[in-house]
Structure 1
Amino acid sequence: MAFCLGVLSGWLSAVLPFFQSDNSPVGPVSQDYISWLGAIPFLSALAGTFIWGNLSERYGRKNTGIILGIPHVIMYSIICLSHNQTAVLIGRVIGGISNVGCLMCVNLYVKEISSNKMRATLTNMLSFSMTVGTLYSFLMCSMFSYDVFNYSLLGISISYLFLFSMLPESPVYLIKNELTEEAKRALSWLRATRDRSLIEDEIDELKCLFLNKTSISLVDIFKTKYYLKTMGMGVFLHCAYLNFTGFAVLITYSTQIFQKLSGEDDVSFYNIGFALLQIVSGISSFFLADRLGRKFFMLFTLIISSSILCSLGFYNYFQMHIDFYIPIPVILVYGFMFMFCTVGQPVLYIFYNELISSESCNYIISIMMLIKNLGWFIVCKLYSTLMLWLKVYGLFWMYGGLCIVITIIIAVWIPETKNKSLRQLKTELQCDDKSPVDNDALVINADNSDNTNHV
């Protein structure tokens, strides 16, 4: 599903050369239609924000994971069977419904089936798999036709439904529902062992890590100072960091941006390099993301990104031309993406995990996804209008300036979370009201960090 989400994000940039050709598979397209194709999946994603979490709790991670694949099967069936512009747009709307569910439920499933030793690594595979999906889109569209590309995606989506149905249910979900024997069988398959003592030990460990007896309602998020502050920080970072820095626009419209920066029509080579760089960055993040403080890495990323974006603006404003195998503006975009995917984005998710207490995580993450997808829709829909008003250089200057604004807000408002427990963070944020951030919550948050002082 993470792979399919990566394809969904990069699909427009990958197929844009087909739409711009004289033999467009959907007929002549306008810039307004292209902006809707890029933005609409993130608008329909809003419909699933508060649905997928409840489905996973009620019907299980496995069943929800299977349901998540159905919108993709429907989407690619529509796109394969019809070349009508309206039909393609409707397909993108349907596919976007599973957007939030993928980030929430698949991440939860992987987290709950992983051993302690591999949990952080396998959780980070989510963003890595998304990047592989984007790379697949660019490679396929550079070698095969529009129809072959979409039929391959339909085949992958159907295969996912079949293969995922063969996996076991999450042991944590089974334990929660007092199906201990089934949980033991699932763990025996997942760990490839029949050693009963090892299975019993891990069952006890999973109960400590994931089964928090404290429960809260959505209203408690707005009544409790700690929850409210952490929600505000999470919403701001998730929305501003991904949407108002140019990251969302570069991911969605990489083909058009590379065409404007390089002055070339065929930019498939740059797109493939763009996706490969994200994969290299994703691998690098496993070694770098936990080296220094979360706040330091976020500020460092934003400052370097602002410098790169402003340099791109000046380069285009003065219409510089420096002969090189790869145009200088493309290299600068690569530098921006390398920074974001190596430390910026991975550290962001580590920060959330350390800041947000487990009993409030489901609600706060849902709200964060809601605002982030709304922001992604807005910036992608406004891209063509802003490009017309501000030109290329003005757009980059705007994003460079916003990076500086976000940097200042993070420096003043956001705390450092590395090597700090939730109780320490609560004190630092001056939240003295009574809330269920207790020892149970502290234990649950330990599963994504190697630092024992979280416990």
Structure 2
Amino acid sequence: MTAELKNESHTNISANGLSKVDNGKRWPQILAILTVSLGSFTNGVLFVWSSPFTLVITKDKENYSITESEASYFNVMQPVGMLTASLFFFKIAEFLGRKKAVMSLALPHLISWIITIFARSKWEFYAARIMAGIADACMFCSVPPYVGEICTPEVRGFWGNVPTFILYVGQVCITILGSYLSVQTTAYICMTVPIIFVVLVSILPESPYQLIKDGKYDEAKSSIMWLQRKENVEHEFVAMKFDVERQTSESARWRDLIFIESNRKALRAGTFLRFSQQLSGVAVFASYTQPIFEKAGGSISPQISSMIFLGLIAVLNLFCSFGVDRFGRRLSYFYSILICGFILLGMSLYFIFDQYQFIDVSSLSWFPLAGMLSWTVCYSFGLGVVPTLMLGELFSVSIKSKGLCILIVFFGLSVFLTTNLFHLFTSNIGMFSPYMIYGLCCLVSAFITLRWVPETKGKTLEEIQQSLKKGY
């Protein structure tokens, strides 16, 4: 039925009696994506907040009495908050609905900034970082599903990655602000974004999928009309209603994530994407950008190096989205993670030579920055885009909240694992060891990608579910 509806042409009769195809408009969907992406912006700011401010706080003995070892837990507390919140926020998101769940993201953001403004001890900063982790869980439970449900496949292909791009823009902004402003001043500035976010999101319509699921059919039609700027949306409404009813008719128990084949494949793909992404070292490189470049040395300051690194990630993430949309999710992810693996192994060799003085690398002081920039280019082509983009695509409506809960738990665990391994290995073995581990993990993950990751390019949410049932 869905295929038949999809192939029908929808026409309006013009004044001269001729029929014309009404394809609607894309800009309202794009506007909605840009609006909810303000939440992703603050998540990006909070995610790498520790990169510029760990050095500031540990060196400022007048206002803070926090050691480098104590400050290293800033990056540990955030995944702890994410893990904790993921266990219950999925139920809150189900109860609130998509739009209100997105709006609730502003609450942990504001609380985190308020704590940061008044923080003087390590415990207060730990509390702020835990709130930032709770915000991560809220964002991943709400923004990707909302974006996936309000967009047509054509819009979702490129614009569905905008929240991730804006997240990286937030990382760049906090790196710049943190290099020139104090902890308190930065927090005051960043507090304004969640307030603006709530006001703007309140104007957006609820997801039509959510409204159909709640039995609010007239509101669902109004939502589709707002998002597509079409007068006659009966075709889209009937197709969407059929898809939602079929998906919600499926069993949605926790055990069904394992025992129903399509759910099992979606869960396997989602957990693999999240885990393999973090095992490429991205959370560590974002959170420890300035400390990494400070330890690596070189002629460029750690502040400037981190700005170049994170700025390049943001810019490339946007432009590489065209490549992902053209070549598909699976192939983009495969080539991205494969090349990243080789680059990380090359950097591991550099740090081995530097640590054990096998050869003189003083003339290669530019190599750490060049290696990280090369990694950034390859990361942006797939690793930085695909996992978040597919969060809202893999699961059916009935099981989506439970599936996302599991994925966020795995995301938090992987961030916790990689950040702890980095601190442990660099302190006890050397800088080369985490790079070697990340590189080997990338090479192994590249070949698993071809077997476990489905292709979702150009498909509706219902078509993705059918492909999972058929084996991709």
TM class by shorter chain equals 0.7 to 0.9
CA drift at 1:378: 2.3
The residue number in structure 1 matching 2:32 is none
- Is 1:79–1:88's contact at 8 Å kept on the other side of the alignment? yes
Q: How does 1:148-297 map to 2 (within 5 A)?
A: 148-191=185-228, 193=229, 196-197=231-232, 199-211=233-245, 212-216=247-251, 217-239=253-275, 241-263=276-298, 266-292=301-327, 294-297=329-332
Q: How does 1:32-71 map to 2 (within 5 A)?
A: 32-71=69-108
> What is the CA–CA distance in structure 2 between the aligned matches of 1:225 and 1:186, rounded to whole Å?
32
How far residue 305 of structure 1 moved from its aligned partner, in angstroms, is 1.6
Aligned to 1:347: 386
**Structure 1 396/205 Cα, relative in aligned 2: closer, same or farther at 3 Å?**
same
Query: Residue type matched to 1:255 in 2?
Result: Q
Equivalent AA in structure 2 for residue 95 of structure 1: A
Q: 1:196 to 1:224 in 2, by over 3 A?
A: closer
Match of 1:363 in 2: 402
Structure 1 equivalent of residue 463 of structure 2: 443
Unpaired segments of 5 or more residues in structure 2?
1-38, 355-359
Q: Distance in 2 between the 1:276 and 1:333 partners?
A: 12
1:3 aligns with 41
Is residue 95 from structure 1 mapped to residue 132 from structure 2 by the alignment?
A: yes
User: TM-score if structure 2 supplies the norm length?
Assistant: 0.80
CA contact (8 A) 1:302 1:403 kept: yes
Q: Which residue of 1 aligns with 2:347?
A: 312
Contact 2:158-2:325 within 8 A present in 1 as well: no
1:382 corresponds to: 421
The offset of 1:354, in angstroms, is: 6.8
Question: CA offset at residue 395 of structure 1?
Answer: 2.4
Contact 2:53/2:183, CA 8 A, preserved across alignment: yes
Q: Which residue of 2 aligns with 1:434?
A: none
* 1:437 match: none
CA RMSD of aligned residues (A): 3.1
Whether 1:126 and 2:126 are equivalent positions in the alignment is no
Shift in Å, 1:38: 0.8
Gaps of 5+ in 1: 422-439
C-alpha deviation, 1:93, in angstroms = 1.0
Aligned residue-pair number: 425
DSSP 3-state at the match of 1:306: helix
Q: Distance in 1 between matches of 2:216 and 2:429?
A: 59
Residue 351 to residue 72, structure 1, CA distance change in 2 (3 Å): closer
**C-alpha displacement of 1:210:** 4.3
User: Equivalent residue for 1:85?
Assistant: 122
Q: TM-score, normalised by structure 1?
A: 0.83
Contact kept, 8 Å, 1:210 with 1:444, in 2: the verdict is no
CA distance in 1, matches of 2:217, 2:391: 31
The alignment partner of 2:385 has SS state of: helix
CA distance in 2, matches of 1:317, 1:12: 27
> What is the distance in 1 between the residues matched to 2:405 and 2:51?
28
Matched AA of 1:269: I
